């Protein structure tokens, strides 16, 4: 009996040592840390975020799990739940963080220059894993989860509409576009074809494609107002 008790206590001790790095770092030497006192380590947070991209690429949002994310990140599930209450809130947080980088408002002095600058930045952004892998998958899931659709709109569309509004307003002030030109139409003409090419078709951009697309967008905006 004594030997069995010793074996059991050893197994228990071994199990207690299998914890995520954050939990180990926050455990004081002589007593348990009070609830809420754990410090959220940034390296653990970044490891979890990287694991989300890998998990989404491997299994998609529907099959993604907190367990799978934690396993890829090399942490315990509690490390994930300390930061996000669910896989949905985790993914939406990543989308929001990506969107905060946003499209910068160009001020080149011409409509063509502004549109060409936006296309250059957008072409890079649309190659990012969030745009090329996460967003399309979330759009499918948004049919079942309206909060996903709302989050994507707030994180991506609203910011881009603001940029398009500035570009159109300054073009009107310069006399390049007539008063009443539609920023939403401008955004469709600028980003729509590029999104289709890079995210949906996933084709390479031919040489001079962005130049030609900028010229076409300018011509269409001037023709339609």
Angle at alpha carbon of residue 143, lines to 141 and 144, rounded to 5°: 75
Contact between residue 125 and residue 103 where contact means Cβ atoms under 8 Å apart:
yes
Mean pLDDT of the chain: 80
Residue 115 to residue 190: CA distance in whole angstroms: 7
Sign of CA dihedral 212, 208, 172, 193: positive
Can you give the pLDDT at residue 36?
45
The alpha carbon of 160 is separated from its chain's Cα centroid by a whole number of angstroms, namely: 15
Phi-psi domain of 34 (left: phi exceeds 0; alpha: psi -120 through 50; beta: other): beta
Q: What is the pLDDT of residues 200-224, one digit of tens each?
A: 888 889 999 999 999 999 999 998 7
Q: Is the pLDDT of residue 172 over 90?
A: yes
Average pLDDT over residues 6-24: 43
Instruction: Specify the pTM.
Output: 0.64
64 versus 135: which is more confidently predicted?
Answer: 64
pLDDT at 74: 95
């Amino acid at each position: 009996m004594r030997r069995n008790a010793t074996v059991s206590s050893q197994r228990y001790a071994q199990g207690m040592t299998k914890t995520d790095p954050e939990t180990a770092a926050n455990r004081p030497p002589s007593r348990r840390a009070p609830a809420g006192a754990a410090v959220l380590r940034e390296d653990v947070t970044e490891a979890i975020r990287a694991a989300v991209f890998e998990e989404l690429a491997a299994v998609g949002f529907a099959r993604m799990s907190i367990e799978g994310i934690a396993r890829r990140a090399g942490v315990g599930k509690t490390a994930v739940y300390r930061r996000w209450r669910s896989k949905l809130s985790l993914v939406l947080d990543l989308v929001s963080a990506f969107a905060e980088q946003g499209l910068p408002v160009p001020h080149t002095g011409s409509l063509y220059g502004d549109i060409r600058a936006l296309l250059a930045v957008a072409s890079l952004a649309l190659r990012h894993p969030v745009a090329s892998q996460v967003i399309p998958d979330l759009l499918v899931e948004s049919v079942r989860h309206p909060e996903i659709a709302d989050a994507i709109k707030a994180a991506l569309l609203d910011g881009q509409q603001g940029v398009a509004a500035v570009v159109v307003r300054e073009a009107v002030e310069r006399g390049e576009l007539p008063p009443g030109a539609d920023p939403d139409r401008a955004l469709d003409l600028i980003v729509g074809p590029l999104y289709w090419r890079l995210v949906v078709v996933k084709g390479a951009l031919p040489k001079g494609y962005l130049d030609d697309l900028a010229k076409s967008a300018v011509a269409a905006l001037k023709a339609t107002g």
